[in-house]
Amino acid sequence: AAVDGETDGGGAVSITGNRNRLSLVGTYLFDPWGDANGGGVMFVGDDGVLELDRVTTVMSMSWQHGGVVYFEGARGALSLRNCSFEGSYAWSGNGGAVDFRSHMGELLIVNVTVDEATADTGSHGGALFVDAPGASVTLEGVVVHNTLAQGRGGCVC
C-alpha cells in the first residue's frame, strides 16, 4: 500500500492496492487538497475497507471526484460514521463530498453531516455520488445542508 499525500489524489491520505484496510478515527482535516480524486482521502483497490469514524473535514477540495472521499474498487466497503464534512468541493467531477464506486461493494453512512458541498462543471451528486451496481447502500441519520450539483442530484446521485 502507498500511503502519502503526494500522489495524484488524496490530499491527506492516498491508499492504492488490493485488500487494504484503513481506519481513521477522531481525525480533523483542515483544507486538504487532492490534485485528482479525493480531497481528503483517496482509496483505490479491490476487496478493500475504508472506515472513517468521528472525522471532521473543513474546506476539503479535489480537482476531480470526491471533495472529501474518493473510493473505488470491486467488492470494497466504505463506512462513514459520526462524521462532519464542511465546505467540500469537487471542481470537475462527481461527489461534492463523497464519490463511491464499487461493483458488489458496501456503502454505510451513519450520523454524518454534510454542509456546503458542490460538484461543479456539469457533475453529479452535490453531497454524494454512487456508481455501484449490485452494491448495498445504507444511509441513516444523514443531514445535508446547502449542496449543489451542476448536473444531476443536488444532494445524492
69 C-beta neighbours (distance < 10 Å), count: 34
Residue 100: pLDDT over 80: yes
Q: What is the pLDDT of residue 14?
A: 85
Residue 4: pLDDT over 60: no
54 C-beta neighbours (distance < 10 Å), count: 14
pLDDT digits 0-9 by tens, 41-90: 999 999 999 999 999 999 999 999 999 999 999 999 999 999 999 999 99
Q: What is the pLDDT of residue 8?
A: 61
**Residue in the structure block whose three cell numbers are 448495498:** 136
Q: What is the pLDDT of residue 94?
A: 94
Q: What is the pLDDT of residue 122?
A: 82
pTM of the model: 0.93
**Residue % of the chain over a pLDDT of 70:** 95
pLDDT digits 0-9 by tens, 106-139: 999 999 999 999 999 889 999 999 999 999 999 9
Contact (Cβ atoms closer than 8 angstroms) between residue 86 and residue 57: yes
**Residue in the structure block whose three cell numbers are 485528482:** 36
Residue 7: pLDDT over 60: no
Which of the pair, 130 or 4, is modelled with greater confidence?
130
Contact (Cβ atoms closer than 8 angstroms) between residue 65 and residue 48: no
DSSP, res 124: -
Rounded CA-CA distance 125/143 in Å is 15
The number of helices, as runs of H, and strands, as runs of E, in the chain is 0, 17
What string of DSSP letters covers 1-37?
Answer: ----S-SSS-SSEEEESTT-EEEEES-EEES-EESSS
Q: Which of 65, 83, 80 is nearest to 131 (CA)?
A: 65
Residue 2: pLDDT over 60: no
pLDDT digits 0-9 by tens, 11-34: 888 888 999 999 999 999 888 888
